[in-house]
Amino acid sequence: MAIVNVYRSCDVFNVFLGWLPGPVGRLPIGATPPDGPTGLYLIDSLVTGDLATFRTAATHLLLPMVAIGFPAVSPILRLTRNATLSVLNSDYIAFGRAAGLRGVPLYLKYVLRNALPGAVTMTGLIAGYMIGGAVLVERVFSWPGVGLYGFNSLVNTDYPAIQAYVLLSAVTYTVVFLAVDLVQSVIDPRVRLK
């Protein structure tokens, strides 16, 4: 539901304002993709020195990025804000200020380090939403990718392809949670790996 609402709000930039291109794929219809080894238009256009194609590919990338990222960022920002306010009102921050700590050292070493663990965990949880959201975003914006492949295999009832997509999503989610655990062990010394 949130993806649909963001897609409708992205229409403002496309239809009404005309600032960004519509959902026609990675390049405009009839445009020649850059020659390159990766198949990623941004990288290939930079490698070949074609800055006009780079700019076009970048503008076609903005709306899908907003559609998948904007709903995912708001809970992380809200959690980080609430955790930061809670840490700022704690006794050890008041003691640090009384001891003369001010500015960047106080915020980086004590406030942010104690406020980040919840936000890192929330980021891992939202990764599952983003994997599912990628299916819708790739379908709506006509982007070829794993999400569109999974959607097309579901429509065509291609069971081995559906199983492969679900397995890839599960492995990706597991790797994301492994990365979250590793980052948590760096941020919070109480959860160090032994």
Residue 191 has pLDDT above 90, yes or no: no
More confident residue, 88 or 37: 88
- Determine the pLDDT at residue 167: 93
Summary mean pLDDT of the chain: 81
Work out the pLDDT band at 38, boundaries 50, 70, 90.
Answer: confident
Helix axis angle, 51-88 to 2-11, nearest 10°? 130
Cβ pair 90, 111 in contact under 8 A:
no
Q: What would the DSSP string read from start to end of the chain?
A: -HHHHHHHHHHIIIIIS--S--SS-SS-TTPPPPP-SS--HHHHHHHHT-HHHHHHHHHHHHHHHHHHHHHHHHHHHHHHHHHHHHHHTSHHHHHHHHTT--HHHHIIIIIIHHHHHHHHHHHHHHHHHHHHHHHHHHHHTT--SHHHHHHHHHHTT-HHHHHHHHHHHHHHHHHHHHHHHHHHHHH-GGG---
User: Average pLDDT in the 37-54 region?
Assistant: 80
Q: Encoding tokens for residue 16?
A: 């009404």
Please give the single-letter amino acid code of residue 184.
Answer: Q
pLDDT for 7 equals 55
Q: Where are the beta strands (DSSP E) in 39-150?
A: none
Query: Could you tell me the pLDDT band of residue 194, with boundaries at 50, 70 and 90?
Result: low
Task: Convert the pLDDT of each residue in 155-178 to its tens digit.
Answer: 999 999 999 999 998 999 899 989
Over residues 5-22, the mean pLDDT reads 62
